[in-house]
């Protein structure tokens, strides 16, 4: 898959602002970015659902703009929001989506059966999807994109809002599919998922790829900077000013009652942090020290935290 | 075929919704049933005045004839059982009687031809001409039923007889349509024997029921049209629901062309509408004994209704932003246009002509015209003008609505 100079603007927002990205056959690339970074818009552009203002996308050698049908036939798209017919049952949903990918007859029946087994819904296949739990819908939402064994699979935050067990199962399918040759573009705002799954990670912010590489390459950007998180409760809002001038602190950002600091030699900084907090009358409920991770990379590159929610 | 899969998806979703199903089939049948039983039990009903029927008896029976068709008819029509339905009176000349029907002073005119008795006795057929006012379909229907029953009795002189009614060409009347009733029967040998010739008139036992049926037919046609238009509108707005579900966008990520999607969608709407119409026609024919007309005319009327209802639905879709709005918007618009289209007043006799003219500004009014003709027994040829207008209207609505829909749901449809 090749993306060159891709741009898309909605009235006042530039959602995708000149993205270049190549994904090799069989590779698993994660798109990591906060809310509104442009991840879903990028996926829509790749699938040809949206028309780009500029730039080009090629999927398995087919230019999306000129040969949309061939490009889509090679793609499997798992949308961010559940996109299933709630008044049809799981089986009817899969049969329908399979037909839309040109499957029919015995092959369609067989693939439908296989995928119902894979996502553990064979027992509930005759129940209307509207009666399913969120996790069951999510799994079916994924299955619907796999019927035609796509060469390239795109998943848009497929694990949002489900229990850890279902989440584990989904990550396992994705890894399994990738292991058997499927190229995967995996969108998430969970850095742990990106770190675990990906060959390479593209960090997206405000419509741009601000960093691209393996997990190791990306964390190396931050170098020896550790990440310190202080839980402050209600005081957090103006507390960042209290710590910026401490020696060794590179970035401070406050959100949701937490303070995120990027610092060289975080362990050595802790006593100074607590001293400063006591001095200013700021109550610290807890403090966490982490080795460099993708969160730190994002903080380092943008000065902001990756997640503004911890769903 | 992907288009078929899309059509089947839509039909299935439509018929799976209990509420929609109730609106498509339950409510129209229920409303008709209420009226049917209300009138069926009151034997004639309070609202229908007896129709003034002029009988122009030109019959000149041979001197020794055992029976005179004109006189038997006169006697039969004057029987007390029919007094709630008919007020027969003799007419003296054809021209003034026709004029009286045209101007509404008379409800109907029955002409017994000069050779009636002679040709019946000779084993030939007798054509009784019935002139009615098309602006009063109920009265016309009652008179036709009664005269037919009487004629049945006449021709039932111990022989198998068949009576068919047909619409004849307008006999020189500018507004009124002439209804000719052909009583075709052959008298067998014993028919000449006055003792054996049981020329009794079968009184319309189902006289009250016949009226109820007549009213039920009008109401059923009106209710069918009313609710078929709802189905058309909701069928068209299914795309809105899909947009909200995200399934429309998902469909756009599959290798399915816009043309296939559009084709499948309209095939689905057409199948849904035709299934609804067929179910209503069949159920009402069985439950209320409604005679809908000639099969080919009925089929054409069903297609015209489906096309115009789908067209209006697609146009209405342009005025609805969300699927939540669709209920209230369709409800208001289709109720108002349905009322103007005469669907709520289908059984009211003697509506002013302006009302009928106004109804033709709505698609429902045209659909009702088509079905009225169909129920009057018109064949495809006689039905052609109203059918053509209705179909063209439907095509025009689609021509406006479909591009709007495609532009709005550009990522799919
Ligand atoms: N249909 C639209 N009309 C206007 N603006 C839009 C539309 N869709 C997205 N945007 C804007 O484009 C930007 C990128 O949105 P997008 O949905 O691609 O982000 P995302 O990275 O997928 O976020 P999330 O993690 O919340 O799903 C946002 O600022 C958003 O408000
Ligand atoms: Mg998104």
Per-residue pLDDT of chain B (413 residues), as tens digits, is 899 999 999 999 988 888 888 888 888 888 888 777 766 544 444 445 678 888 888 888 887 776 677 777 787 777 776 777 788 888 888 888 888 887 778 888 888 888 877 877 776 667 778 887 766 666 777 777 777 766 666 665 422 222 222 222 222 222 222 222 223 233 333 333 333 222 222 222 233 335 667 778 888 899 899 999 999 999 999 999 999 999 999 999 999 999 999 999 999 999 999 999 999 999 888 888 888 888 999 999 999 999 999 999 999 999 999 988 998 999 999 989 988 888 887 766 666 777 878 888 999 999 999 998 898 888 899 899 999 999 999 999 999 999 999 888 876 44
Q: Which residue segment(s) compose the domain that A22 sits in? A: 2-218
Tokens 């047909």 locate to B166
Question: What is the number of other CB atoms lying within 10 angstroms of the CB of residue B105?
Answer: 11
Question: Number of structural domains, chain A?
Answer: 2
Task: Please check whether residue A173 lies inside any domain of the structure.
Answer: yes
**A229 and A93 both lie in a single domain:** no
Question: What is the CATH architecture of B51-204?
Answer: 3-Layer(aba) Sandwich (3.40)
pLDDT at position B134 is: 65
**A175 and A197 both lie in a single domain:** yes
Using an 8 Å Cβ cutoff, are B39 and B45 in contact?
yes
Average pLDDT over residues A224-243: 79
Of the three residues A201, A218, A235, the one that is the final residue of a domain is A218
Quote the ligand 1 centre to A238 CA distance (angstroms).
Answer: 29
Give A145-186 pLDDT, tens digit per residue.
999 999 999 999 998 878 888 889 889 989 999 999 999 999
Q: What are phi and psi of B109, to 5 degrees?
A: -135, 130
pLDDT at position A44 is: 94
A interface mutation test: which of B13, B16, B239, B253 has the most A CBs within 10 A? Answer: B253
**A20 and A91 both lie in a single domain:** yes
Tokens 């017994």 locate to B112
**Cα(A182)–Cα(A153) distance, integer angstroms:** 7
Q: Under an 8 A CB cutoff, do A88 and B17 touch?
A: no
Of the three residues A196, A218, A240, the one that is the final residue of a domain is A218
Question: What is the number of other CB atoms lying within 10 angstroms of the CB of residue B42?
Answer: 13
Average pLDDT over residues A214-218: 88
* Residue nearest to ligand 1 atom 3, measured at CA: A10
| CATH classification of the domain holding A214 | 3.40.50.300
In the predicted model, is pLDDT for residue A309 greater than 90? no
Enumerate the domain spans of chain B: 2-40+209-408, 51-204
pLDDT at position B156 is: 52
Determine what percent of chain A is predicted with pLDDT higher than 70: 97
Task: Please check whether residue A185 lies inside any domain of the structure.
Answer: yes
**A170 and A229 both lie in a single domain:** no
**A73 and A120 both lie in a single domain:** yes
**A51 and A197 both lie in a single domain:** yes
**A246 and A98 both lie in a single domain:** no
Q: Under an 8 A CB cutoff, do B2 and A102 touch?
A: yes
- Mapped onto helix, strand or coil, the DSSP state of residue A288 is strand
Task: Please check whether residue A57 lies inside any domain of the structure.
Answer: yes
Cα atoms found within 13 Å of the Cα of residue B197, Cβ hemisphere only: 20
**A275 and A151 both lie in a single domain:** no
In the predicted model, is pLDDT for residue A231 greater than 80? yes
The distance between the two most distant Cα atoms of chain A, rounded to a whole number of Å, is 74
In the predicted model, is pLDDT for residue A265 greater than 50? yes
Task: Please check whether residue A108 lies inside any domain of the structure.
Answer: yes
List, in order, residues 6 or more apart from B284 with CB less than 8 Å away. B29, B32, B216, B217, B220, B224, B290
**A247 and A193 both lie in a single domain:** no
Task: Please check whether residue A179 lies inside any domain of the structure.
Answer: yes
Going by pLDDT thresholds of 50, 70 and 90, the confidence category of residue A66 is very high
List, in order, residues 6 or more apart from B7 with CB less than 8 Å away. B264, B265, B267, B268, B271
Task: Please check whether residue A311 lies inside any domain of the structure.
Answer: no
**A100 and A154 both lie in a single domain:** yes
B325–chain A nearest CA distance, Å: 20
| CATH classification of the domain holding A242 | 3.30.70.100
pLDDT at position B213 is: 72
pLDDT at position B171 is: 29
User: Closest by alpha carbon to B295, among B305, B281, B275?
Assistant: B281
Considering CB atoms only, which of B17, B246, B256 is closest to A79? Answer: B246
Contacts of A83 in chain B (CB under 8 A): 245-247, 249-250
**Cα(B190)–Cα(B159) distance, integer angstroms:** 9
Q: Under an 8 A CB cutoff, do A101 and B257 touch?
A: no
In the predicted model, is pLDDT for residue A101 greater than 80? yes
**A183 and A229 both lie in a single domain:** no
Q: Is the ipTM of this complex over 0.85?
A: no
A198–chain B nearest CA distance, Å: 24
**A87 and A49 both lie in a single domain:** yes
pLDDT at position B166 is: 27
* Residue nearest to ligand 1 atom 4, measured at CA: A10
**Cα(B123)–Cα(B189) distance, integer angstroms:** 9
pLDDT at position B99 is: 84
B interface mutation test: which of A86, A99, A127 has the most B CBs within 10 A? Answer: A99
In the predicted model, is pLDDT for residue A57 greater than 50? yes
Considering CB atoms only, which of A44, A69, A87 is closest to B13? Answer: A87
Task: Please check whether residue A298 lies inside any domain of the structure.
Answer: no
Most informative mutation of A33, A37, A52 for ligand 1 (most atoms within 8 A of CB): A37
Q: Output the ligand 1 site: residues, CB below 6 A.
A: A 10, 13, 15, 33, 35-41, 80, 189
């Amino acid at each position: 898959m090749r993306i060159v100079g891709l741009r898309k603007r909605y009235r006042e927002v530039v959602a995708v602002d000149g993205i270049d990205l190549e994904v090799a056959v069989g590779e698993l690339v994660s798109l990591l970015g906060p809310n509104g970074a442009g991840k879903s818009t990028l996926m829509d552009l790749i699938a040809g659902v949206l028309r780009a203002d500029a730039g080009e996308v090629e999927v398995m050698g087919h230019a999306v703009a000129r040969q949309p049908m061939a490009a889509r036939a090679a793609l499997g798209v798992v949308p961010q929001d559940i996109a299933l017919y709630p008044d049809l049952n799981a089986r009817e949903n899969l049969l329908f989506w399979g037909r839309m990918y040109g499957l029919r007859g015995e092959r369609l029946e067989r693939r439908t059966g296989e995928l119902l087994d894979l996502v553990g819904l064979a027992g509930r296949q005759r129940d209307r999807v509207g009666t399913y739990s969120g996790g069951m819908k999510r799994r079916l939402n994924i299955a619907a994109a796999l019927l035609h064994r796509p060469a390239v699979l795109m998943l848009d935050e497929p694990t949002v809002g489900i229990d850890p067990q279902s989440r584990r199962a989904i990550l396992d399918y994705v890894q399994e599919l990738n292991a058997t040759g499927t190229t995967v573009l995996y969108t998430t705002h969970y850095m742990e998922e990106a770190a675990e799954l990906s060959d390479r990670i593209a960090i997206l912010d405000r419509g741009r790829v601000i960093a691209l590489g393996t997990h190791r390459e990306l964390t190396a950007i931050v170098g020896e900077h550790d990440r310190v998180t202080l839980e402050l409760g209600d005081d957090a809002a103006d507390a960042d000013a209290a710590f910026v001038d401490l020696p060794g602190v590179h970035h401070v950002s406050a959100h949701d009652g937490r303070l995120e600091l990027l610092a060289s030699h975080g362990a050595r900084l802790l006593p100074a942090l607590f001293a400063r907090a006591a001095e200013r009358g700021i109550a610290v409920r807890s403090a966490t020290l982490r080795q460099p991770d993708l969160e730190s990379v994002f903080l380092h590159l943008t000065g902001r935290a990756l997640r503004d929610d911890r769903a | 075929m992907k288009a078929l899969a899309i059509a089947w998806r839509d039909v299935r979703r439509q018929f799976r919704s209990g509420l929609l199903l109730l609106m498509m089939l339950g409510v129209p049948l229920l409303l008709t049933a209420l009226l049917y039983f209300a009138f069926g039990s009151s034997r004639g009903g309070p609202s229908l005045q007896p129709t003034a029927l002029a009988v122009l008896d030109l019959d000149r029976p041979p001197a020794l004839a055992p029976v005179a068709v004109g006189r038997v008819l006169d006697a039969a029509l004057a029987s007390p059982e029919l007094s709630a339905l008919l007020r027969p009176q003799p007419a003296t000349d054809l021209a003034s009687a026709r004029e009286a029907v045209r101007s509404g002073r008379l409800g109907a005119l029955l002409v017994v031809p000069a050779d009636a008795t002679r040709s019946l006795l000779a084993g030939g057929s007798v054509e009784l001409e019935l002139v009615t006012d098309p602006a009063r379909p109920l009265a016309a229907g009652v008179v036709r039923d009664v005269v037919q029953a009487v004629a049945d009795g006449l021709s039932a002189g111990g022989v198998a007889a068949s009576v068919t009614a047909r619409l004849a060409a307008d006999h020189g009347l500018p507004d009124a349509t002439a209804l000719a009733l052909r009583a075709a029967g052959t008298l067998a040998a014993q028919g000449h024997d006055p003792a054996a010739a049981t020329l009794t008139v079968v009184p319309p036992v189902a006289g009250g029921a016949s009226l109820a049926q007549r009213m039920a037919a009008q109401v059923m046609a009106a209710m069918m049209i009313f609710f078929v238009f709802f189905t058309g509108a909701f069928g068209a707005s299914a795309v809105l629901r899909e947009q909200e579900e995200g399934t429309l966008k998902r469909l756009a990520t599959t290798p399915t062309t816009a043309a296939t999607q559009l084709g499948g969608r309209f095939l689905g709407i057409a199948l849904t509408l035709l299934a609804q119409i067929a179910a209503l026609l069949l159920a009402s024919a069985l439950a209320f004994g409604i005679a809908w007309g000639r099969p080919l005319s009925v089929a054409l009327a069903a297609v015209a209704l489906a096309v115009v209802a789908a067209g209006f639905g697609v146009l209405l879709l342009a005025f609805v932003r969300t699927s939540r709005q669709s209920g209230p918007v369709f409800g208001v618009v289709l109720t108002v246009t349905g009322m103007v289209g005469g669907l709520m007043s289908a059984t009211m006799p003697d509506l002013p002509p302006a009302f009928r003219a106004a109804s033709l500004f709505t698609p429902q009014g045209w659909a009702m015209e088509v079905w009225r003709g169909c129920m009057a027994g018109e064949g495809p040829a006689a039905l052609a003008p109203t059918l053509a207008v209705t179909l063209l209207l439907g095509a025009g609505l689609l021509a406006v609505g479909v591009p709007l829909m495609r532009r709005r749901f550009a990522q799919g449809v």
